C-alpha cells in the first residue's frame, strides 16, 4: 500500500501543473439583451472555457460609456459601433477593431403609412425622428445623397432629436422614427400599430449603412503577445457562440434571459430579437469586411459641416486577430 501511495505521489509531482484560465472582461454597448446573444451562448455552452478563458460579461446602459470603461481598465474588450469608435479614436481614445461579428446593419426609418410616405422622395416637408450621439451621421449622409436639406421647410425635412424610444411615432410627433430591426420596430408593433400600417426604409438597402456591433480593444494592448493570444481565443470562441446562436435562436434567447439580472426582458421579446439579430450576423466569420469599413468611413466623412470624423483614420482596425482565430 505504501509503495502504491509513493508511486501516486511521484506521478502527481511529475504531472503538468493545471493552468488557471485567463481572465477576459467584455463590456457590452447596451443592456443584457439578444443583441449580444452570441457572447452569452459562448459563455453558457462552455466555448470560452474550452479556449482556457474565464469571461465576465458586463452589461451597458444609458449611463455606461464603453470607451471610458475600456480606457479606465474596467474591460479588456468592448462592443461598439464603428462610427462611435472612430469618433473616439480621433478624439484621443486609441481603440482598434479586432473583429466584426455583425455583417449587416439593423438600422432603419419606420414611418406611418398614413403620412403618405411611400419612398424617400416623400420625406420632404415631414418631421423625422433621428438618434444622435453619432447615430445621426448615416441619416445626414443619406439626406445629402438625396439632396434633401435637414433644415426644415417644404423641400427639406425637420429633424427631431429622438430619444431611445418610439414615443414620437406613437404620439404622431414625427412621420418616421429611427428603429432597429431587432428592437424598436417591434416596440411599435407591440404598441398596437399593425405592420400593414408601417413603411420601413433600411439603411442597408439605401447604401448608407455603417458597421454596427464590432469588438474593440486598446491599441497598446495588442503589442503584448499574451494579450493578443487571449483575444485570438476570445474571438474564436465568440464567433462559435454566434454561429450556435444563429442555429439555435430560441435557446440562445433563453441564455440571455438567464443572465439578465434586472428581470426587465421578456421571453417573447428576446426570442424575436434573437431571430432578427441572427440575420445580421449571418454570413460573418468575424473578419472585418474592408469594403464595408471603407463605406462607413466615407459615410462619416460626408456629414456636411459637422462630420463625425474629419480625416480618414489610420490604424483603426487590425485583421491579425481574426486571421489567427480562423486558422
| 293 vs 83: CA distance, rounded Å | 10
| 198 vs 196: CA distance, rounded Å | 6
179 and 301 both lie in a single domain: no
| 203 vs 301: CA distance, rounded Å | 17
Among 251-255, 273-277, 294-298, which stretch is predicted with the lowest mean pLDDT?
A: 294-298
181 and 220 both lie in a single domain: no
Tell me the per-residue pLDDT of 173-224, one tens digit each, with 9 for 90 and over.
999 999 999 999 999 999 999 999 999 999 999 988 999 999 999 999 999 9
Quick check: is 6 in a domain?
no
235 and 97 both lie in a single domain: yes
- 126: CATH: 3.40.190.10
Query: Is the per-residue pLDDT at 19 higher than 80?
Result: no
41 and 117 both lie in a single domain: no
Q: What is the mean pLDDT of residues 264-287?
A: 97
Quick check: is 86 in a domain?
yes
Q: Choose one of 188, 206, 224: the last residue of a domain.
A: 206
Q: Range of 158's domain?
A: 107-206
Q: Choose one of 177, 206, 235: the last residue of a domain.
A: 206
Beta-strand runs (E) in 72-230 = 77-80, 95-99, 107-112, 127-130, 158-161, 176-180, 198-202, 214-218
For residue 151, CA distances in Å to 138, 143, 219 come to: 16, 11, 39
Question: Which pLDDT does position 62 carry in this prediction?
Answer: 85
Tell me the per-residue pLDDT of 205-219, one tens digit each, with 9 for 90 and over.
998 899 999 999 999
Quick check: is 1 in a domain?
no
Would you say 237 and 53 are in contact if contact means Cβ atoms under 8 Å apart?
Answer: yes
111 and 246 both lie in a single domain: no
Q: Choose one of 206, 229, 258: the last residue of a domain.
A: 206
The count of domains in the chain is 2
Quick check: is 94 in a domain?
yes
Amino acid at each position: 500500500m505504501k509503495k502504491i501511495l509513493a508511486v501516486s505521489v511521484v506521478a502527481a509531482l511529475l504531472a503538468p501543473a493545471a493552468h488557471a484560465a485567463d481572465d477576459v472582461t467584455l463590456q457590452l454597448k447596451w443592456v443584457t439583451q439578444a443583441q449580444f446573444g452570441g457572447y452569452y451562448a459562448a459563455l453558457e455552452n462552455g466555448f470560452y472555457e474550452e479556449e482556457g478563458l474565464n469571461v465576465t460579461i458586463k452589461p451597458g446602459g444609458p449611463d455606461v460609456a464603453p470607451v471610458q470603461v475600456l480606457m479606465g481598465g474596467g474591460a479588456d474588450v468592448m462592443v461598439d459601433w464603428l462610427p462611435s469608435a472612430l469618433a473616439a479614436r480621433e478624439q484621443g481614445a486609441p481603440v482598434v477593431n479586432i473583429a466584426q461579428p455583425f455583417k449587416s446593419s439593423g438600422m432603419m426609418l419606420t414611418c406611418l403609412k398614413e403620412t403618405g410616405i411611400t419612398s424617400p422622395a416623400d420625406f420632404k416637408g415631414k418631421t423625422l425622428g433621428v438618434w444622435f450621439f453619432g447615430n445621426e451621421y448615416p441619416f445626414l449622409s443619406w439626406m445629402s445623397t438625396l439632396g434633401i436639406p435637414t433644415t426644415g421647410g417644404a423641400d427639406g425635412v425637420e429633424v427631431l432629436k429622438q430619444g431611445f424610444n418610439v414615443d414620437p411615432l406613437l404620439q404622431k410627433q414625427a412621420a418616421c422614427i429611427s428603429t432597429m430591426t431587432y428592437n424598436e420596430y417591434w416596440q411599435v408593433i407591440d404598441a398596437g400599430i399593425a405592420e400593414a400600417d408601417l413603411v420601413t426604409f433600411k439603411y442597408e438597402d439605401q447604401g448608407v449603412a455603417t458597421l454596427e456591433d464590432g469588438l474593440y480593444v486598446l491599441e497598446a494592448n495588442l503589442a503584448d503577445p499574451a494579450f493578443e493570444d487571449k483575444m485570438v481565443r476570445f474571438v474564436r470562441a465568440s464567433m462559435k457562440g454566434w454561429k450556435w446562436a444563429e442555429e439555435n435562436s430560441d435557446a440562445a434567447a433563453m441564455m440571455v434571459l438567464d443572465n439578465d439580472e434586472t428581470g426587465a426582458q421578456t421571453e417573447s421579446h428576446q426570442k424575436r430579437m434573437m431571430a432578427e439579430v441572427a440575420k445580421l450576423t449571418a454570413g460573418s466569420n468575424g473578419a472585418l469586411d474592408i469594403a464595408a469599413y471603407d463605406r462607413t468611413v466615407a459615410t462619416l466623412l460626408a456629414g456636411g459641416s459637422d462630420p463625425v470624423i474629419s480625416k480618414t483614420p489610420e490604424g483603426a482596425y487590425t485583421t491579425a486577430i481574426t486571421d489567427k482565430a480562423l486558422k
